[in-house]
């Protein structure tokens, strides 16, 4: 992953150097020094006081709180997304291999169990609580498992330039309000060891649109996930998850440590089928 981050920074530096060379040939002013934020490659930071002070309409609702997912048999409980779409042949093959491994008491490519990042959408269906912190410019989600962070920008920016920003497991998330519903558009996913659920991978074309709203007087949060990936399935994969506000809970530190999990099917190499 560090390699990809370095490549992203190198790409930004290359843009600056290329612009400087062009300026030298045309007589135009050369671009300024690093950091590239000063050159307009990235918008003003979400926590910058200048950004926070900008006049903007107040958010219709505040999602700040600690939320715990509720199992629902109609949509596959917690860890799965049902109903499933029509899978493409390769994805269908992998899904069936996973079902076969389950029948044999084995895990199948359970990279999350082996401590790889869960990534989206698995990020949203862990059995640990999610804490949400809402600001005018962004929402920060903290998933208790591995204390993984997810940033959702609300300050009007577009998606990051994929030539500069590396793909990530949680993707690049941009949010906007439609009435009292938060709509989140997420792209630019890292596909390596990244699964929607057991045996169903994601590709570089994976795309998620979420619609989040409060219900039951703010005591419940409903999240509708609309997922597309033309490489792995046909049409939209739509699923809704329900969370309850758990004001009596705080989020602690929960780490996935392979050396403590070797007894589990997912981490024991003899049991985790690839």
pLDDT per position as a tens digit, 108-128: 888 888 888 999 999 999 888
Identify the CA nearest to 82 among candidates 266, 227, 274: 227
Average pLDDT over every residue of 166-190: 97
Cα radius of gyration rounded to whole Å, the chain:
21
- Provide the pLDDT confidence category of residue 72 given band limits of 50, 70 and 90: confident
3-class SS of residue 141? strand
Q: Report percent pLDDT > 70 for the chain.
A: 76
What is the C-alpha to C-alpha distance for residues 14 and 33, in angstroms, rounded to an integer? Answer: 13
Average pLDDT over every residue of 233-254: 93
CB 266 within 8 A of CB 160: no
CA atoms within 13 A on the CB side of 90: 7
* Window from 28-42, 122-136, 241-255 with minimum mean pLDDT: 28-42
Global confidence as pTM: 0.80
Q: Which helix (H) or strand (E) holds 208?
A: strand 207-215
CB 142 within 8 A of CB 130: yes
Residue 257: predicted pLDDT: 79
């Amino acid at each position: 992953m560090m390699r990809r981050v370095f490549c992203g920074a190198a790409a930004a530096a290359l843009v600056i150097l290329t612009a400087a060379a062009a300026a030298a040939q045309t007589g135009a002013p050369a671009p300024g020094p690093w950091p590239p934020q000063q050159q307009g490659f990235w918008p003003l930071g979400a926590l910058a006081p200048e950004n926070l002070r900008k006049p903007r309409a107040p958010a219709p609702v505040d999602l700040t709180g600690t939320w715990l997912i509720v199992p629902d048999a109609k949509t596959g409980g917690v860890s799965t997304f049902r109903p499933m779409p029509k899978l493409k042949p390769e994805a269908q093959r992998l899904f069936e291999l996973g079902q076969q491994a389950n029948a044999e008491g084995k895990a199948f490519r359970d990279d999350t169990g082996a401590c790889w990042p869960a990534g989206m959408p698995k990020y949203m269906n862990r059995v640990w609580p999610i804490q949400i912190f809402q600001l005018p410019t962004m929402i920060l989600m903290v998933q208790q498992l591995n204390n993984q962070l997810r940033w959702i920008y609300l300050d009007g920016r577009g998606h990051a330039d994929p030539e500069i920003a590396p793909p990530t497991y949680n993707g690049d998330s941009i949010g906007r309000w439609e009435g009292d519903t938060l709509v989140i558009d997420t792209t630019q996913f890292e596909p390596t060891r990244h699964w929607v659920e057991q045996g169903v991978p994601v590709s570089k074309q994976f795309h998620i649109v979420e619609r989040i709203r409060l219900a039951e007087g703010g005591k419940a949060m409903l999240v509708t996930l609309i997922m597309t990936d033309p490489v792995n399935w046909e049409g939209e994969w739509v699923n809704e998850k329900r969370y309850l506000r758990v004001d009596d809970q705080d989020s602690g530190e929960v780490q996935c440590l392979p050396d403590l999990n070797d007894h589990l099917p997912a981490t024991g190499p003899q049991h985790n089928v690839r």
